[in-house]
């Protein structure tokens, strides 16, 4: 359906810019990396499976996006680098952030793309529900750890959080955040996607209050498309549902390159550079769940997230970031 397939039309180059993307070995993460590489960026791919990551690097190097010819793509391309990251381990998040801070001179764009959906109930080594930690808490911590580097790399820095339209049926269970009493795969996923949007809103508010400029924050729905994110649904929903979902999305909605367009838009578009804290779909600002406009609701999630990460949610944001950074010193 053509009206679900708007493409990012910005021709902005990213020469001299460093971009970090989680979950970049497949799906829209890999397509986003491909686009940024073609724009001349130093693209850092974060993933837990190094074999798949190396395969992704070769694919990105040799196959341009549909908008560009291969010879033009390769002659104007940037660099690719890989780092190990497992969002289900907070130690891995801290180790990855430390490596990035030590080895990279700057970070201009952070794309929090990695995610799981319809996962069977499981606790991480840190004691958090798997979907909540992978989709929200791991990215929450990674972002806070990388923020000082992004501040020093500003202006023009952006943090992009990949959410989902399914946030509209989500609810944050503050009294049972790990859903120990009421877990369903759908509830776990929609809660985490709502958390992505609330995190975006609250982070933008805190940056503004702390008078920190040059770092903008975005959340988005990429669209419905066939990717590996639905791989657990055969076991948690019913056998064959992943195949049916992928067939339906392939026929009626977006392919993976089209699904990456709103992420790319939020990362490079010139108009979006003047916006922060908003939610996007199909390369434009979109309507989100009314509850996401509740400042207290977003603040409550921030406080609960800090508690799960054993952080004290100080109101002075600069002091708070210093406290977070001390975890990896």
The number of residues making up the chain comes to 329
**Mean pLDDT, residues 169-193 taken together:** 96
Q: In the predicted model, what is the mean pLDDT of the chain?
A: 91
Structure confidence at residue 233 (pLDDT): 43
Structure confidence at residue 56 (pLDDT): 97
Task: Give residue-wise pLDDT tens across range 238-296.
Answer: 555 455 545 555 455 779 999 999 999 999 999 999 999 999 999 999 987 777 888 99
Task: Give residue-wise pLDDT tens across range 70-116.
Answer: 999 999 999 999 999 999 999 999 999 999 999 999 999 999 999 99
The answer to whether the beta carbons of residues 18 and 41 sit under 8 Å apart is: yes
Structure confidence at residue 245 (pLDDT): 45
Structure confidence at residue 38 (pLDDT): 98
Among 113, 114, 106, which residue's Cα sits nearest to residue 19? 106
Task: Give residue-wise pLDDT tens across range 112-136.
Answer: 999 999 899 999 999 999 999 999 9
Task: Give residue-wise pLDDT tens across range 23-50.
Answer: 999 999 999 999 999 999 999 999 999 9
Query: CA torsion angle for 218, 282, 6, 155 (degrees, to 10)?
Result: -10
Q: What angle do CA 134, 139, 106 make, to 5 degrees?
A: 140
**Distance (Å, rounded) from C-alpha 321 to C-alpha 143?**
10
Cβ neighbour number for residue 4 with a 10 Å cutoff: 15
Whether residue 315 is predicted with pLDDT greater than 90 in this model: the reply is: no
**Distance (Å, rounded) from C-alpha 49 to C-alpha 284?**
33
Among 116, 115, 118, which residue's Cα sits nearest to residue 238? 118
Among 96, 84, 200, 104, which residue's Cα sits nearest to residue 152? 104
Instruction: Select which of 189, 218, 265, 279 is catalytic.
Output: 189
Q: What is the CA radius of gyration of the chain?
A: 18
Q: What angle do CA 144, 148, 153 make, to 5 degrees?
A: 125
Among 117, 246, 266, which residue's Cα sits nearest to residue 186? 117
Q: What SS3 class is residue 105? A: coil
In which order are the strands placed within the sheet that holds 215-221?
79-84, 42-47, 18-22, 109-112, 157-162, 215-221, 278-281, 284-285
Domain ranges of the chain: 11-222+256-328
Query: Would the pTM count as exceeding 0.85?
Result: yes
> Which tokens in the block code for residue 159?
């943090």
Is pLDDT larger for residue 223 or for residue 92? 92
The question of whether 83 is a catalytic residue gets the answer no
* Residue pointed to by tokens 């908003």: 278
Band of the pLDDT at 5, cuts 50, 70, 90?
confident
Question: What's domain 11-222+256-328's superfamily in CATH?
Answer: NAD(P)-binding Rossmann-like Domain (3.40.50.720)
* Residue pointed to by tokens 């500003």: 154
Judged on CB neighbours under 10 Å (0-12, 13-18, 19+), 41 is: buried
**Mean pLDDT, residues 205-220 taken together:** 97
Across 197-211, 216-230, 274-288, 302-316, least confident range: 216-230
Whether residue 161 is predicted with pLDDT greater than 60 in this model: the reply is: yes
């Amino acid at each position: 359906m053509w009206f679900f397939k708007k493409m990012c039309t910005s021709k902005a180059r990213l020469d001299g810019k460093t971009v970090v993307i989680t979950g970049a070995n497949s799906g829209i993460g890999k397509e986003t990396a491909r686009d940024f590489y073609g724009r001349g960026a130093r693209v850092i791919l974060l993933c837990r499976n190094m074999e798949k990551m190396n395969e992704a690097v070769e694919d990105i190097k040799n196959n341009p996006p549909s908008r560009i010819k291969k010879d033009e793509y390769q002659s104007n391309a940037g660099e690719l680098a890989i780092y190990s990251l497992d969002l289900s381990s907070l130690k891995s998040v801290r180790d990855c952030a430390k490596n990035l801070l030590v080895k990279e001179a700057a970070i201009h764009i952070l794309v929090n793309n990695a995610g799981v959906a319809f996962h069977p109930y499981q606790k991480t080594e840190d004691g958090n529900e798997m979907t909540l930690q992978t989709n929200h808490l791991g990215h929450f911590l990674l972002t806070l750890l990388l923020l000082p580097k992004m501040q020093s790399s500003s202006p023009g820095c952006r943090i992009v959080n990949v959410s989902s339209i399914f946030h509209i049926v989500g609810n944050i269970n503050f009294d049972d955040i790990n859903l120990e009493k009421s877990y369903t795969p759908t509830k776990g996923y929609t809660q985490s996607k709502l958390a992505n949007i609330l995190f975006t809103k609250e982070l933008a508010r805190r940056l503004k209050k702390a008078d920190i400029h040059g770092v903008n924050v975005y959340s988005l729905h990429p669209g419905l498309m066939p990717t590996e994110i639905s791989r657990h649904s055969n076991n948690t929903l019913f056998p064959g549902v992943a195949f049916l979902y992928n067939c339906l999305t392939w026929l009626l909605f977006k392919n993976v390159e089209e699904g990456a367009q709103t992420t790319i838009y939020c990362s490079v578009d010139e108009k979006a550079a003047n916006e922060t804290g908003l939610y996007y779909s199909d390369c434009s600002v979109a309507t989100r769940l009314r509850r996401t406009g509740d400042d207290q609701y977003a603040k409550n999630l921030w406080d609960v997230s800090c508690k799960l990460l054993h952080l004290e949610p100080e109101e002075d944001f600069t002091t708070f970031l210093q406290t977070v950074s001390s975890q990896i010193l």
